[in-house]
Amino acid sequence: MAESEAQGADYEAEHVHSVYEEIASHFSSTRYKPWPIVERFLKEQRDGTVGADVGCGNGKYLAVNKRVFIVGSDRSTNLVKIAREHEPHSTVVADNLSLPHPSGVFDFAISIAVIHHLSTPSRRVEAVKCILDLLRPASRSASLDGGKAFIYVWALEQKDSRRGWDEGHEQDVMVPWVLKQKKVKEPKQRKRDGASNEVVAAEGEQKPDGDQTFLRYYHLYKKGELESDIEQAGGAVVESGYEKDNWWAIASLK
Amino acid sequence: MKLLTLNFLTCAIKTCKTNPASFPLHPRDAELEIQEADLNLTFLKNILPRLMWEELRVISSELGLPELPATPPAPADLVEPSNTPLDTAEVTLAEGGAEAQEVEETPSQTAKDLHRILLETCIQEGKLVCGSCGHEYAVKEGVANFLLPGHLV
């Protein structure tokens, strides 16, 4: 994790943003199945409502409901270029701490597997605040509920998962992403001399078989932490729970 | 990037958001492209109350597009009148029977025009300029980029 608040942005640029830019295409090909609970939230939205997908990645949640209009945003240009295929929605490149949206105009917002990439406690709370800021306040005259945000993060408590983390483990971790090299490229990779290997090492560790490993920074949330962040950001927790290695919460304005 | 998106975009710089001049962002040196899309009448009707009409008129005129009417169309203006009796339409709406509506109703010219401007007219290249601070956001290959340089974050 970043050593200080001030270094947070630089740390994430190196250990999150540049990694996703590199692995965008492969990452996207593995991310097509929406989490059922997020799918349910999106399908529950009334027709014609307007939403934001903060950190939309390859846009897999943009495909769920065509009766609403979602503006997706992501830090990675390469992922946004993949995400924009989903009609009738729209996608832009943006940072989740500097979102280019007017305050209080969205009926709903989602941020799925995003804020766990922020590297300091205050940046994670700020990320929640930025999501809450998007939401439309409740309107008494129109008897409309205020907007709701669905936030989903990786859990520390996942002892049955492939990673095996659990309560009491380190919460700030580097998680490898292995990019398999195509077979035809292998001979070339092996011929590389020391000088060119150094360049590769700067981007990602080069394994002898030609695979490249990229490390992404994650903050693993422990029980109650997401709810606490929402409270600290000035929001209210409407509903929250655990689903297959992840914590989720639906938040609203207070 | 389709023009409807501009209805939900403003300057990414926090201090600008409270300034009304930051909305809408103004297209500059824009190259437009028509990307045909299926017209979804229910979607158009539902999105109608969310449109900042005055601001859309400004953007549309800045882009040299045909002038939008002074007042926003009503949902009924989007349907070809001869096709479905109004009372039937209202009943369907009350039941939330969006599917049935799509089959029965024919989009009016007003609906087609609105669809053309909001969902088919796309900014492919150019800039979006904040009316408050003057910051320019680039649009390349149809993707607007709102990442800020370090000193503006």
pLDDT at A31: 77
pLDDT at A1: 73
pLDDT at B103: 54
The answer to whether the Cα torsion of A152, A102, B96, A144 is positive or negative is: positive
Domain extent, residue A188, equals 172-216
A193 or A10: whose pLDDT is higher? A10
**Same domain for A177 and A104:** no
**Beta-carbon neighbour count of residue A181 at 10 Å?**
16
pLDDT tens for B101-142 read 445 789 999 999 999 999 999 999 999 999 999 999 999 999
Structural domains in chain A (count) = 2
- The ipTM assigned to this model is 0.85
The answer to whether residue A180 sits within a structural domain is yes
A176 or A133: whose pLDDT is higher? A133
Residues A94, B12: C-beta atoms closer than 8 Å: yes
CATH code at B3-74+116-152: 2.20.25.10
Which among B5, B143, B150 has the least Cβ separation from residue A71? Answer: B5
pLDDT at A27: 83
Eight-state DSSP code of residue A206: E
Residues A73, B47: C-beta atoms closer than 8 Å: no
Q: How is chain B split into domains, by residue range? A: 3-74+116-152
**Same domain for A77 and A199:** no
pLDDT at residue A32 greater than cutoff 60:
yes
The alpha-carbon gap from A90 to the nearest alpha carbon of chain B, in Å, equals: 6
The answer to whether residue A90 sits within a structural domain is yes
Closest to A59 (Cα-Cα) out of A39, A80, A76, A30? A80
Whether the ω angle into residue B24 lies within 30 degrees of 0, i.e. cis, is yes
The size of chain B, in residues, is 153
Residues A69, B119: C-beta atoms closer than 8 Å: no
Q: Average of pLDDT values for A202-222?
A: 76
CATH number reported for the structural domain that contains residue A239 in this entry: 3.40.50.150
Residues B8, A103: C-beta atoms closer than 8 Å: no
The alpha-carbon gap from A69 to the nearest alpha carbon of chain B, in Å, equals: 8
Neighbouring C-alpha atoms within 13 Å toward the C-beta of A252: 12
| Mean confidence (pLDDT) of chain A | 87
For residue B9, the chain A residues in CB contact (below 8 A) are 71, 92, 100-102
The answer to whether residue A166 sits within a structural domain is no
Lowest mean pLDDT among A13-17, A111-115, A171-175, B97-101: B97-101
Task: Determine the Cα–Cα distance for residues B40 and B51; give it in Å rounded to an integer.
Answer: 16
Residues A9, B119: C-beta atoms closer than 8 Å: no
Is the distance from CB of A108 to CB of A49 less than 8 angstroms?
yes
Task: Determine the Cα–Cα distance for residues A111 and A125; give it in Å rounded to an integer.
Answer: 13
**Same domain for A202 and A122:** no
Is the distance from CB of A1 to CB of A219 less than 8 angstroms?
yes
Closest to A253 (Cα-Cα) out of A141, A152, A143, A129? A129
**Same domain for A47 and A82:** yes
* Position A201 confidence tier, pLDDT thresholds 50, 70, 90: very low
Which among B47, B137, B146 has the least Cβ separation from residue A69? Answer: B47
The residue of chain A with its CA nearest to that of B49 is A48
The alpha-carbon gap from B82 to the nearest alpha carbon of chain A, in Å, equals: 25
For residue B37, the chain A residues in CB contact (below 8 A) are 87-88
Q: Average of pLDDT values for A93-100?
A: 98
- What are the CA-CA distances from residue A76 to residues A203, A233, A247 (Å)? 16, 25, 24
The answer to whether residue A164 sits within a structural domain is no
Low-confidence ranges of chain B (pLDDT < 70): 82-103
**Same domain for A235 and A210:** no
Task: Determine the Cα–Cα distance for residues A52 and B52; give it in Å rounded to an integer.
Answer: 17
**Same domain for A107 and A31:** yes
pLDDT at A242: 97
For residue B143, the chain A residues in CB contact (below 8 A) are 77, 80-81, 84, 91-93
Which residue's entry shows tokens 């029977």? B97
Q: Average of pLDDT values for A163-188?
A: 78
The residues that bridge with B69 in the sheet, in sequence order, are none
Q: Which two tokens stand for residue A103?
A: 């305050």
The answer to whether residue A224 sits within a structural domain is yes
pLDDT at residue A51 greater than cutoff 50:
yes
Task: Name, in order, each residue with C-beta under 8 angstroms of B123's C-beta and a sequence gap of 6 or more.
Answer: B1, B3, B27, B30, B31, B32, B139, B142, B144
**Same domain for A106 and A27:** yes
pLDDT at residue A190 greater than cutoff 60:
no
pLDDT at A183: 54
Is the distance from CB of A206 to CB of A200 less than 8 angstroms?
yes
pLDDT at A148: 97
